[in-house]
Amino acid sequence: MQTSDLEAFEAEWQKMLDGEVYDAVHPEFLRRLAATREKLWEFNTIHPSEAGRQKEILRSLLGAVGEPFHVNPPFRCDYGCNISIGRNFFANFNLTILDEALVKIGDNVFIGPNVSIYTACHPLDATDRNTGAEWAEPVSIGDSVWIGGGATVLPGVSVGDRSVVGAGSVVTRDVPADVLVAGNPARIIKKLR
């Protein structure tokens, strides 16, 4: 990549991280997505007896990783480098994280199977959407959170410490600490403290 192309890409990457509209179909975005998929293919197809190699792959892919951690394959993400996980992290099968913006996950977080965490946003207008314009909003998951199976966390959401997201929930807005939320859209069912 030439210097001017690299500078143009870096400007688009920074727009993505800053929550501004950016060109998601820039060739370097597509190259990085492909490189991530290569690592994920290896992670998702490696023999279960090679758990150490699986952890090495995730350490090389993710932005920050606390110890200990465990992620059951399959796992999917867009870039990986925008994801940080804290200590004592557990994710069950089929976790998907679209990490165009930063995704920060605290310590002692447990994620059930088939959970999706999204940061990517697209224009409602089809003409704008078809240009490849996109923006992203960060997601933050606090310490000691449990996200039940099949839940979806949408862009821009923060989940407070010690909260529980019920199975199958769609989290569309911030969740305070110490509550159980459930439903579509998720709403507070009860306080936990």
Q: Which residues are catalytic?
A: 122
Q: Which two tokens stand for residue 42?
A: 């290896």
- Which residue do the tokens 């143009």 mark? 8
Q: Which two tokens stand for residue 109?
A: 């977080």
Phi, psi of 77 (to 5 degrees): -150, 170
Q: Cis link prior to 74 (omega < 30° from 0)?
A: yes
- Which residue do the tokens 């989290």 mark? 171
> What region does 175 belong to: left with phi over 0, alpha with psi -120 to 50, or beta?
beta
For residue 31, CA distances in Å to 60, 79, 152 come to: 17, 10, 27
